[in-house]
Amino acid sequence: MKRLLTILMALAVTLTALAADPVRVRVLSIGNSFSRDAFSYVPFLMEEMVPGAEVEFGILYIGGCSLERHRRNLESGEPAYEFDFYRTGQQHWTLERQVSLQQGVERLPWDIIILQQQSAASRYYETYQPHLDILLDYLRRARPQATFAWLMTQAYGTGYKPLGNMSMDEMWARVNAASQRALDETAIQLMIPAGTGIQNARYTPLDRLGAAGHLVNDGFHLQEGIPPLIEGLTATAVLMRHYGVEVDVEKSRLQITPQWRRERQTPQPNGEPEQASDEDYRLARQSARWALESPWQLTVVEEGGDN
């Protein structure tokens, strides 16, 4: 009898879990190629780490687009964007061209809308305003149920001319400080410390990755494979927490190969994924975890050490 009761209780728990509504995710990013860097793998990470999740993810894209240009596009209604879209079940990204900012925002009742600044300007908060507040005011009226998030983008790699007289660390610190102001002074509620994850990884053996080194393909875009995975893991944890789901990034076992990437038609690839070891993937997951634990500071671990 006792064994029968145990079996019935286990069955009841299972049926309750099956009856629970799946986590439904609706996220829109308004950005440029750095949004594609950060979010191309995110829908697949969400599906891996939250079984049953129903994901709808959109990226409104213009190459090199700044907050000021987004604001001008809002005012003009120009259909200047490419719209990358993923929905659970379709297995790969799709691309639509000549979309206006308003059309992208109105496409779905988004739960989260993510913004970012153009990479060179991301170091200087004076370039954010008044454009950021104007965009947020529009988004509040168009999607009053949405939560607003900010993508802290990565610093340029050493040797990339637009870095100027700054070091990678100094550019990261300036982007960091500007991102903190955006979080403190605007309606933004969520911070995705993707740039901190990349800068952490640059203090590990992963720094060798990328055609240009320092995890970048061309000086500033992330090389496919490990680098976008770091940002993707960071973003996945922040976004899923908004839905009440805690994600342990170190439990992900997703590995990125050229075939995997091509099958999923990830937006605007920068090169192809480089060969990486299990240790490389472990360091990638750790770099993301460190960024989540300490988004405003770098985590530098002595060689052979752990955190």
Residues 113-131: pLDDT tens digits?
A: 999 999 999 999 999 999 9
pLDDT at 19: 44
Task: Determine the Cα–Cα distance for residues 170 and 162; give it in Å rounded to an integer.
Answer: 13
pLDDT at residue 10 greater than cutoff 50: no
Of 150, 151, 153, nearest to 187 by C-alpha is 150
Percent of the chain with pLDDT over 90: 91
User: Given this model, what pLDDT does residue 297 score?
Assistant: 96
Q: With contact defined as beta carbons under 8 Å apart, do 245 and 229 qualify?
A: no
Mean pLDDT of 80-86: 98
- Inform me whether the pLDDT recorded for 6 exceeds 50: no
Would you say residue 255 has pLDDT above 90? yes
What confidence tens digit (pLDDT) does each residue in 144-160 have? 999 999 999 999 999 99
d(CA 54, CA 26): 9
pLDDT, residue 163, reads 94
Mean pLDDT of 91-110: 98
Give the predicted TM-score (pTM) of the model: 0.92
Which CATH superfamily groups domain 23-293?
Answer: SGNH hydrolase (3.40.50.1110)
Give the pLDDT mean for 90-96: 96
For residue 169, pLDDT over 90 is answered with yes
Q: What percent of the chain is predicted at pLDDT more than 70?
A: 92
pLDDT digits (tens, 9 = 90+) for 195-243: 999 999 999 999 999 999 999 999 999 999 999 999 999 999 999 999 9
The lowest-confidence range among 15-19, 22-26, 200-204 is: 15-19
Residues 177-197: what's their mean pLDDT?
98
